[in-house]
Amino acid sequence: MPLVVWRFSDGKAGHDNQTRGLAEALARLRTTETHTLNPLPPAAALRGWLLGRLPCWNDLPAPNLLLGAGHRTHLSLLTARRSRGGKVVVLMRPSLPLGLFDLCLIPEHDAPPSRPNVLITRGALNRLQPSATLDPQQGLFLIGGPSEHFGWDDAALRQSIMALVVADPAMQWTLTTSRRTPPSFLEGLSSMADMRLTVVPVAATGPDWLPSQLARAGQAWVTSDSVSMVYEALTAGATVGILDVPRKRASRISRGLDRLAADGWVTSFADWQERPYLHRPPGVFNEAERCARWIVERWRG
């Protein structure tokens, strides 16, 4: 019998990437039947939980697993379990007490407590897979933008990128931006673009563009504000460098990056300046598969 998975999606790309990554990893390990559902409005979810039934889901097979990421999915996950059964797996630290969920997949930078139902992850899960087609002469720059924890310095960042481009004439580089990247950064970058640096603004990319680039880029440099892209690049198997942007203050994001550097998974630009070398990943980085294996091995139902 297939493993029936109900995956709740709140429509946020980052959350969706995590639950899809786990659902796809489960499907690589055993036969699954995945149904993607929208979370219910809070009042409807609470009413369904109190009644113990939800007619709107009666046409679906009873779930073995219920997956969700993001606060909007939490009540629906618990209501679905109460009305139809299954085990609830929540990704990221939930807003409700941890004890309400069967399994909580929480990044280590969120300092989760040690509990039987908590599995600590290195960063957020994603859909990437280790690539067998990485080209050591292909490089990728992934540029973010100002955020709650990080400031921005156009000139310093462009200077770092130029230093990397001129350091190895054999490398071919592609640079892309994010929706947070200030327009001024690209305006000042136009003079740098040449035969070895191709600039592809985020507006010119589709949903499959970044995964296809990461599948072949042997080297990836990511701005320190874009932590999810750091973990995606590591999952693909690239050697990963961190382009520094100003830190507003110490945060769980910066502490997570510092831990990756200390463990040899990434190289800071400052370290590269002292010795132009990127650490090779010390192992395979595939958190979605590791979590999926944990689930399959313990919940074989």
User: Token pair for residue 171?
Assistant: 């490398």
Domains 3-127+288-298 and 135-274 share a fold: yes
Q: Which residues of the chain have pLDDT under 70?
A: 190-193, 301
The residues facing 223 across adjacent strands are 243
How crowded is residue 285: how many other Cβ atoms within 10 Å of its Cβ?
23
Span 171-208, pLDDT tens digits: 999 999 999 999 999 887 766 667 789 999 999 999 89
Buried b (16+ CB within 10 A) or exposed e, 232-259: bbbbbbbbbbbbbbeeeeeeebbebbbe
Write down the pLDDT at residue 57: 87
Please tell me the pTM assigned to this model: 0.92
CA proximity to 295, closest of 105, 155, 83, 113:
105
Tell me: the pLDDT tens digits for 49-76? 888 878 788 899 999 999 999 999 999 9
Q: Using CA atoms, how far apart are residues 153 and 185, in angstroms rounded to an integer?
A: 9
> Quick check: 25 and 288 in contact, CB under 8 A?
yes
**DSSP conformation class of 57:** G
What tokens does 103 get? 């399994």
User: Residue 191 has what pLDDT?
Assistant: 66
Cα torsion through 135, 232, 243, 281, rounded to 10: -60
Q: What is the pLDDT of residue 196?
A: 86
CATH number of 3-127+288-298: 3.40.50.2000
* Homologous superfamily of 135-274: Glycogen Phosphorylase B; (3.40.50.2000)
List the chain domain ranges.
3-127+288-298, 135-274
